[in-house]
Structure 1
Amino acid sequence: MVRVKHLLLIVVVGILFSCRSGEEVSDLPRPYHNLRFEKLPEVWDEALPLGNGLTGALIWQKEGKLRIAIDRADLWDLRPVEEFKSPDHSYQFICDQVLKKKDIAPIQRLIDDRTKYDAAPTKIPAGAIEFNIASLGKVKDVSLDLTSAVCTILWENGAKARIFVSANEKGGRFFFENLPDTLSPELITPLYEENDTELDYQPGVNKLTALGYKRGKVERINPGTLLYQQQGWGDVSYEIALKWKSPSGHSLEGEYCVTSKGTWYSEKEGALECMRQTMSSNFDSSLAMHKHWWREYWMKSSISLPDTLLEKQWYLEMYKFAAASRKGGPPICLQAVWTADNGQTPPWRGDFHSDLNTQLSYWAGYTSNHLEESSVFTDWLWRIKENAEAFTRQFYGVEGLNVPCIATLTGEPIGGWSPYSHSPSTAGWLSHHFYLQWKYSMDADFLKNRAYPWIKEVAQYFENISVRGENGERQLPLSTSPEINDNRIDAWFQKTTNYDLANIRLTYTVAREMAEALGLNEEAGYWVRQLSEWPKPAVNESGLMIAPGKAQTESHRHFSHLLSFHPFGLIDVSKGNGNIDLILRSIKNVEMLGTDWWTGYTYAWLANMKARVFEGDDVVRNLHIFIKAFCSPNSFHLNGDQLKAGYSQFTYRPFTLEGNFACAAAIQEMLLQSHTGVIKVFPALSTKWEDVSFRHLRAMGAFLVSASYEGGKIASITVESEKGGWMKLYNPFTDKITERKMVAGETITFTNKFPMGK
C-alpha cells in the first residue's frame, strides 16, 4: 500500500518515479505475442478471432470439421418492445410505484420480466463455412499472427491453411495448400428452425428458434459459388456469398462476403455484387493490402515490459480492439463481431450495456493512440442522438438527452433490470467519452460540432429532470447505482447515489471546460452555477458510499460508487490530502469486503484504480488474476473464475469484451497518465521491473509520448506536440513540473544530460 506520506509528497513536489527503460521498443508484435495452440479449439468461445470492425470470424473445430463462424456487427433483430408502447412506460410511473405505492411488481412486469421470456431485440449470428478435414489427419500447429491478423493451420502431413478477414475489403479469404485430396467448403446456416442444441445456462440466452425466422436457403449459383439469403425481422435481411476454386488438385482458394439490408450500415449491393466490386482478384493481392493496413495500425504505438504475460495481453487486447472497432462500423457491443456460435442468442442479447460495458470497451483506445478506432463510439452515440432524445421525452417527460442504458443497435431501449436499463444518468458517463475523444485529439471541430452540443443537452436534461430537496439542493426524483441490490425495490434510492451524482457532476464540469474552450464564457458560468446546486458525494469512515445512508458493505462486481475517482478523476490524489485519504479508504473497503461476487472486469477495473494511486505491484497482481483466471485461452474475458480457485463465486463463462479493454487500459495507466493535465511517465510501475519502454502513447492535449526506463531509472522522455499548446510534464530529472508552450510538430527530449529538454 502506498503510504499517505508518500502521496502527500507527490502532491507537493510532483511524483517521484522509480522507472527505467530498456531495449528499443519494437513497433510490431513479436512472435511470442501470437495465439498458438497444438490443436484447433473445440469450443466457440476459445476460437481464434478475426475481424475488421464490421465482419468477424471465429476459427474452431466443430464435430470434426474446421469451422469459420461468420458474424456481422449490424445483424440485429430490432423488433420493438410492445410493452414500451404503454403509457405506464415512464419515469413518473416508476416514481409513483416506488415512492407512493411501495410496489414494484407492475414495473417488473412492464420492464424486467419480459426479458426472461422473449428473445428479441437481440444481436444475431450470420452463419458459417465448414470444411471436412478428416482426410488431413492430425493438426500440428494453429496460430494467429497478430502482426498480419492471419490464422494459420498446419497439419502433420504438410497441409496448410491460411485464413483472414480482410482489413480493406468486405469479407474474408482462405487458402489451403499441400492438400492430399480435393477439398470443398460448405455454407452452414444458423439454426433458426430445427435446433436440437442443449440450451447453455448463460444470462439472457435463447435458442435461435425463438426468433421465429424461416431458415433461408443456400443456392448454388455455379459449381464454385454459393449464396445464402436470410430474412430477419422487419426490413433487416442479410446475404453470404461464398466462392472458391482449386488452382490444382492440391490447393483450395476461396473468399466470402456478408452484406446486410435494412440497417444504418447496409450496402446497396447484395453479397455477390459487393464481392465483385470490392474484393481483389486473388488471395495474394488481398493479403498484401490486408497486411499493410495492420502494419500501419501497429506503427501507432508499442510497449516493452519485463512482464511478458502483461505485454502479450496488451498486444492481444489492441489486436481485438482494431478487429472489433473500425471507422464506419458499429461500436463494440458485448461480444462485438464474435457473436455466440452455439445455436443460441448471445449472452445478454449481445446488447449495448452502458452501465459499464460500452464505456470500459473504449478505455484503451485513447492512450494507445488509436483515436480513429475510439471515435467509432462517439460516432455511434451521435447517430443514436435523435432516438435518445425521443426516448428522453417519452420516458422521462422532459427535454434534453439521456440514453437507454441497455440499448439496441439503433439506441432503442431493450429493458432488463429496470433500475439500470432505465438509469436516469447513463448519458453522463457516455459524455465522458466525448470529453476524452476531444482532450486526446484536441479536435476543435469535434468539440464545436459534436462534443459540446452532446454534453450541453445532457446538462440540460439533468437540470430538467431534477427536483429540489429539503435543503434546497438539486436531486433526482429516484436514483440508482449499478447494479446494487439487483432489481429489488431498494435498488431505487430516494437520495441521489454517488454513481448518479458522479455522472451529473462530471457533465457540468466538462461542460464548463468545453464552453470556456469555445469562448462561451456566459454558458461556462451557467454550468458552474448548476454544478454548485448539486450535493457533494456521500462519504463515511470507509470512504465513498453508495448513497447517503447506504455504505458499501458487501462484495460487489461493480464499483459504481467510485466513479468520481475512476475513471472521472473528479476526486484524485493530485488534489491533496483529503482526496488521498478518501481514495485509499474507499479502495481498502472494497478489498476488505472480498472478491466473492466479482467478475473478471472487476479485477481489471481495480487495477486501473491501483495505477491511479501508484501501486504498481497491486496492478500487476490484479491483472495476473484477470488473465489467468478469467480469460479463455484465446484471451476472451469469460466473466467467471475459470480456474475455480476462489477468486470469485461466479464460475460461469459468458463472454464479454469490456474486461479485456479495461485490462489494456490498466497497463497503459502504469506507463503514462495525463488525466490531471500533467503528463506523468511511468507513474505506477512494479517495484520488480527493471527495463520498460513505450513509443507514441498519447496524452491529453494531443501529445505523443515515448519513454525508456533502464536499470530502475527513467532514461529518456520524448514529447511530440500534434496540435501545439501548453505542455505540462512532471520532470523526473528536475523533480518539478516543466511547462512549455509547444508548436504543432515540435518534439522535445528530456534526459539526465538535458534535464530541461532539447
Structure 2
Amino acid sequence: MAWTSAQSLENNGQHFNPIDWQAFLSQHDMVWDRIPNRWEVAPYTGNGNVGFLFYQAVGEAKNVISIHAGRHDYYDHRLPNGEDANLWIYRSRLPLGHFNVESNGEITGVDLRLGLWNAELTGTINTTDGSYRVHAFSHSQTDVISFETQAEGGESIQITWHPETPIAPVKETLDAGGGPKGRSWDKMRTAPYPLPPEPTLSEEDGMQFCFQPLHDGRGETTTGWQITGDPSSKQLLTASIHHSFPEHDSLATAKKNLLDARQQLKAETFVSSHREWWHKYYPLSFLTINDPEKEAFYWIQMYKLGSAMRENGPILDLMGPWYHRTFWPMVWGDLNVELQYWTHLTANRMSLGESLPNNLDKYADNLAKNVPERWKDSAAIAACFPQDCEAYDHGKVPDMLAWILNNYWLHCEFAGDRTRMREGLFPLLRKNVNGYLNFLRERPVKSDDGKIHISQSWSPEYPGGHGQDINFSIALLRWACQTLLDINEEHQLNDPLASQWQNVVDNLVEFQIDENGLRIGKDIPFDKPHRHYSHLLGFYPLAVITPEKEADAKMLRTSLDHWLDVSINSGIKVGAMPVTGYTATGAASMYAWLGDKAKAYHYLDFLIQHKNVSPTTMYAEGNPVIESPLSFATCIHDMLLQSWGGKIRVFRGTPEIWGDVAFKNLRTQGAFLVTAKKKDGVTQFVTVESLAGSACFVQTDIPNPKIYINGKEQTVSKSDDGFYQIALQKGESATLSPVALEQVDFQIEPIPVSDANRNLFGLSDKTVRLPGHKFYYPEKTTAK
C-alpha cells in the first residue's frame, strides 16, 4: 500500500488531501534499458557521506559491471612542502575503489530503475548465461552500501573489492604532461609526492577490511564489507567506508557500521529504516507543474540533493559522494559551493544545508589562519579549498569568504534563526570585513572624489579581470558591511567597529556602469564572452541593486541582455565554453527576478538542452560539477516564489506556458511557508504561514484579493509598490484569494502525466531526445 503524508495542512479552513508520494514520484523514476558505461550515465545513490555509481567502465570485461564506491570527505591531509602553502596535490579528493560484480555470462542488456521514493536501484542484468536481479541503495542513516543480487537461469555472481591507489588526480594529470604551466603548477610538478603505504587486508567474524593509511599517517580510510548468501542464488553485499583525520578510528567505525547493519538485517529493520528517512524528506514541500520534463528534472534534483548532503556531513564539493577523476578536486568557492547551497532553502529542506554553516563554525580558526599574521582578527579563504577550510588567501581582498558567508546569512534568514545569525554568522562576517579593512588600509587609492576605492581585486574567470574597483568586490563589501550594521542594530550589540562599517556603506565607490550596464571594473568593460556572472553579483543573488526602481530595473536588464549577447550570441570562441550550465540557470533566475517570464523559461529549458547535462541530470565539463543541475531547481523556485529584499513575490517569474501549477510549503526569507495554486493561468489562492513572526510583505497577481488571517477576513492596505503588509504572529497564517474563503479551490494534487511523458531521464529510448544522451552515449538509434 502506498505511503501518504500523514500531515494535512489546515490553515484558514484549508484541507489538503494527502499526496500519494510513491505514485507521484514513480512517474519520474530514472530507468535504464542501455548498459551504463560511464560516470555521467550511471545510476547513483548516496547518503551525503557514502555513495556509489553502478556502471560497466570502458575496457572492463564484458561479464563485469562495477559498484564504484565513494566517500564524500576522503581528502588528503599532507603538510605543506617547505614554506609553500598547501598545494592542490596535497589537499585533494582521493580515489577509493570499486566492487566488481562478475557474472558467468557476458552482460547483454539491463532493465534498471532508480526509484526516487525509496532511493533504491532495482532491476535485472541479462547475460548470455541467464540473468540476475539487483536491489541496491546507500543506507540513509548508516554509512552502509547495500547491494543484493539474485541469480537466475544458471547464473552465478562473484563480488570482489578492488582498491585504488590514493593519488591526487591533479598529480596524475601533471605527471602525464598535462595542466597549465607556471606558478604553483610548476611547484606541484616538482614537489615531493611519496605514495602512501599499500593497503592492509584483514578478516574478522565474516567481515573483510581494506585499511588504507595516508602518507605520514595523516588520515586513513577503511572499506569494510560482508557478503552473505549463495552466489548462484541470492546474496547480499553490505559495505561501509569511513575516513578519519586526525582520529585513527576508521577501522573501528567501519566495523561498527557493519555490525549495526547486521543487527538491523536480523531484526528486519534495515530496509525500513533506510526508507523512513526518505519518506519524511520528500513531503517537506511539494510542487507540480504542467510541464512533465521540468517537473521530473526538478524532483530528480531533490533526490540528488538528499543523496549528496547531510547536516552532519562535509561541505558539498563538486562531486559529493560520487568520485570521478577530476582536475577540480576540492570545494570551489568562487561560485560552485554558493549555488549548491541555494537549492535547499526555498525547497524547505533546511537540515541538509546546515552542513555549510556547521563546517564554517567548526573550522572558524582555520579561516582566521588564511590571512597574513599582521591582519589581526580577520578571516578569508582561497577560491578553492579542502574540507577543513584551510586555504591561505595571500592577503587579497577576501571576496570568496564574503560570498560563502552570504550563503550562511541566507540559511539563517530562511530558517528565521536570529540566534545563529548573531552568534554564528556575525563573528565570522566581522572578521571577514576586518580583512577588507586591512586590505584597504594597506593599499589605499588616491582620489579626489572622497570615495573608498578598491585598488586591486578580481572578477572570477573574466579574462583580464584583475583591476581597480571591480564590481564583484564592491557588491560583496557593501553587502557585508550593511549586514553587519543590520545585525548590530537588531541585537543592540553596540559594536565598536560599527562606525567603520557605516563609513564603508556611505563612502564606498559606486558600481561601475556604462552604456551596456554593469562593467567588470573601473577600467574593464564587459566586452568578452564570460560564463560567470561575477559582475552581476550585486543584483543576483546579493540584491544590493534591485529592480524595484525603474531606472535600476532598466540598467539591470541592459546588463543582463548584454552579458548574454556577448557570451552566447557573439560567436567568439573562448577557452571555457561560451555558455555553461550555471550561465543558463543564472540567466533564468535573473530574468525571473526582473519579471521576464518568457526569458526565464527560455534559459531554464536551455539547461536541459545543454549537451553537457547528462540523461541522468548529472553535469560535467570534462570534470564533474554538481552545482548546475542543482541550480535548475533554484530557478524553478525563483520562477514560482521570490523573497529578496525581505518581501514575498508569488508567481512573479512563472511563464504563461505553466498555466497549471501548484506548490505547498515552499519557504521564503523571514521563515514563511507559502502554498499557492494557479489553474488555467489564474491564481486561485496564496497562503502564507509565519514560522518566526517576521514582518510580512506579500505581492500577488490576484487583483483586489480578499485577505483572511486565521480564517477571518481582514482589511489590508496595498502599498504603492504593490505589496500587502500583513501582520502575522508566529504560527499564524494568511490567505489571499479572489473569492470568498469557502469558495476557494484549495486542492493541491499532482498534475496528471501521460505514459509518454513518464520516466524521461536515465538512459533509455526516451532519453535519446536529449543532447546529453547523444554526447555521453553516442549510438546509432532512434527513439521508438
TM-score, length of structure 2 as denominator length: 0.80
Equivalent in 421, 431, 445 of residue 405 of structure 2? 431
Contact 2:698 2:725 in 1 (8 A): yes
Contact 1:637 1:655 in 2 (8 A): yes
**Structure 1 residues 626 and 33 mapped into 2: Cα distance closer, same or farther (>3 Å)?**
same
Whole-Å separation in 1 of the counterparts to 2:429 and 2:736: 37
Whole-Å separation in 1 of the counterparts to 2:742 and 2:642: 20
Match of 1:516 in 2: 489
Match of 1:103 in 2: none
Whole-Å separation in 2 of the counterparts to 1:750 and 1:255: 52
Match of 2:691 in 1: 722
Q: Secondary structure at the match of 1:135?
A: coil
Q: Secondary structure at the match of 1:176?
A: strand
Match of 2:117 in 1: 147
Mapping 1:732-751, distance limit 5 Å: 732-734=701-703, 736=718, 737-751=723-737
Would you say 1:175 and 2:175 are equivalent positions? no
Aligned-residue offset at 1:355: 0.6
Would you say 1:362 and 2:341 are equivalent positions? yes
Match of 1:533 in 2: 507
**Structure 1 residues 724 and 509 mapped into 2: Cα distance closer, same or farther (>3 Å)?**
same
Mapping 1:292-311, distance limit 5 Å: 292-311=276-295
Whole-Å separation in 1 of the counterparts to 2:422 and 2:137: 39
Aligned-residue offset at 1:30: 1.9
Whole-Å separation in 2 of the counterparts to 1:712 and 1:269: 58
Aligned-residue offset at 1:188: 1.0
Would you say 1:61 and 2:56 are equivalent positions? yes
Match of 2:390 in 1: 412
Contact 2:76 2:94 in 1 (8 A): yes
**Structure 1 residues 757 and 611 mapped into 2: Cα distance closer, same or farther (>3 Å)?**
farther
Aligned-residue offset at 1:531: 1.5
Would you say 1:625 and 2:625 are equivalent positions? no
Aligned-residue offset at 1:513: 1.8
Aligned-residue offset at 1:748: 2.3
Match of 1:452 in 2: 426
Contact 1:405 1:423 in 2 (8 A): no
Whole-Å separation in 1 of the counterparts to 2:560 and 2:434: 33
Match of 1:102 in 2: none
Contact 1:324 1:336 in 2 (8 A): yes
Whole-Å separation in 2 of the counterparts to 1:755 and 1:517: 37
Q: Residue type matched to 1:365 in 2?
A: H
Q: Secondary structure at the match of 1:463?
A: helix
Aligned-residue offset at 1:151: 1.0
Equivalent in 609, 619, 644 of residue 637 of structure 1? 619
Q: Secondary structure at the match of 1:30?
A: helix
Would you say 1:190 and 2:170 are equivalent positions? no
Q: Residue type matched to 1:74 in 2?
A: D
Q: Secondary structure at the match of 1:676?
A: helix
Whole-Å separation in 2 of the counterparts to 1:628 and 1:141: 25
Match of 2:98 in 1: 128
Aligned-residue offset at 1:557: 1.2
Whole-Å separation in 2 of the counterparts to 1:502 and 1:551: 17
Aligned-residue offset at 1:694: 0.9
Whole-Å separation in 2 of the counterparts to 1:42 and 1:618: 36
Contact 2:397 2:439 in 1 (8 A): no
Contact 1:603 1:622 in 2 (8 A): yes
**Structure 1 residues 251 and 272 mapped into 2: Cα distance closer, same or farther (>3 Å)?**
same
Deviation string for 1:567-589 (max 9, x for gaps)? 11111112x01211110110111
Segments of 5+ residues of structure 1 without an aligned counterpart are 1-21, 90-110, 640-652
Match of 2:773 in 1: none
Contact 2:202 2:208 in 1 (8 A): yes
The Cα RMSD (Å) is 3.1
Match of 1:253 in 2: 236
Aligned-residue offset at 1:457: 1.8
Aligned-residue offset at 1:248: 8.5
Contact 2:454 2:470 in 1 (8 A): no
**Structure 1 residues 266 and 604 mapped into 2: Cα distance closer, same or farther (>3 Å)?**
farther
Moved more, 173-182 or 141-150: 173-182
Aligned-residue offset at 1:756: 13
Q: Residue type matched to 1:214 in 2?
A: P
Q: Secondary structure at the match of 1:594?
A: helix
Aligned-residue offset at 1:170: 1.7
Contact 2:285 2:665 in 1 (8 A): yes
Q: Secondary structure at the match of 1:152?
A: strand
Whole-Å separation in 1 of the counterparts to 2:451 and 2:284: 47
Match of 2:7 in 1: none
Contact 1:691 1:711 in 2 (8 A): yes
Contact 1:25 1:695 in 2 (8 A): no
**Structure 1 residues 447 and 757 mapped into 2: Cα distance closer, same or farther (>3 Å)?**
farther
Deviation string for 1:13-63 (max 9, x for gaps)? xxxxxxxxx999765652232211103311123221211111121111232
**Structure 1 residues 491 and 686 mapped into 2: Cα distance closer, same or farther (>3 Å)?**
closer
**Structure 1 residues 404 and 140 mapped into 2: Cα distance closer, same or farther (>3 Å)?**
closer
Whole-Å separation in 1 of the counterparts to 2:687 and 2:194: 55
Aligned-residue offset at 1:136: 7.5
Aligned-residue offset at 1:247: 6.1
Moved more, 554-563 or 306-315: 306-315
**Structure 1 residues 226 and 203 mapped into 2: Cα distance closer, same or farther (>3 Å)?**
farther
Whole-Å separation in 1 of the counterparts to 2:290 and 2:177: 39
**Structure 1 residues 42 and 742 mapped into 2: Cα distance closer, same or farther (>3 Å)?**
same
Which is bigger in relative contact order (C-alpha 8 A, separation at least 6)?
1
Contact 2:445 2:455 in 1 (8 A): no
Whole-Å separation in 1 of the counterparts to 2:389 and 2:354: 17
Moved more, 451-460 or 153-162: 153-162
Q: Residue type matched to 1:469 in 2?
A: V
**Structure 1 residues 210 and 710 mapped into 2: Cα distance closer, same or farther (>3 Å)?**
farther
Would you say 1:702 and 2:684 are equivalent positions? no
Aligned-residue offset at 1:66: 2.1
Q: Secondary structure at the match of 2:90?
A: coil
Aligned-residue offset at 1:232: 1.4
Whole-Å separation in 1 of the counterparts to 2:673 and 2:208: 48
Equivalent in 558, 561, 565 of residue 585 of structure 1? 558
**Structure 1 residues 457 and 262 mapped into 2: Cα distance closer, same or farther (>3 Å)?**
same
Deviation string for 1:132-166 (max 9, x for gaps)? 03438533411211111101131355631011000
Aligned-residue offset at 1:755: 8.0
Q: Residue type matched to 1:348 in 2?
A: W
Q: Residue type matched to 2:732 in 1?
A: E
Whole-Å separation in 1 of the counterparts to 2:131 and 2:501: 68
Q: Residue type matched to 1:290 in 2?
A: H
Contact 1:301 1:368 in 2 (8 A): yes
Match of 2:661 in 1: 692
Q: Secondary structure at the match of 2:458?
A: coil
Match of 1:752 in 2: 738
Contact 2:66 2:99 in 1 (8 A): yes
Whole-Å separation in 1 of the counterparts to 2:607 and 2:679: 28
Whole-Å separation in 1 of the counterparts to 2:94 and 2:606: 32
Q: Residue type matched to 2:616 in 1?
A: N
Deviation string for 1:91-139 (max 9, x for gaps)? xxxxxxxxxxxxxxxxxxxx9xx76xxx332101222111103438533
Count of matched residue positions in the alignment of Structure 1 and Structure 2: 676
Equivalent in 221, 225, 237 of residue 220 of structure 2? 237
Equivalent in 47, 51, 73 of residue 46 of structure 2? 51
Contact 1:306 1:689 in 2 (8 A): yes
**Structure 1 residues 192 and 698 mapped into 2: Cα distance closer, same or farther (>3 Å)?**
closer
Whole-Å separation in 1 of the counterparts to 2:17 and 2:293: 18
Identity across the alignment (%): 20
Equivalent in 603, 613, 623 of residue 584 of structure 2? 603
Mapping 1:1-400, distance limit 5 Å: 30-62=25-57, 63=60, 64=62, 65-82=64-81, 85=83, 119-135=89-105, 137-156=107-126, 159-179=132-152, 180-191=154-165, 212-221=195-204, 224-234=206-216, 235-246=218-229, 249-263=232-246, 269-277=252-260, 280-282=263-265, 285-340=269-324, 345-349=325-329, 351-394=330-373, 397-400=375-378
Would you say 1:594 and 2:567 are equivalent positions? yes
Q: Secondary structure at the match of 1:593?
A: helix
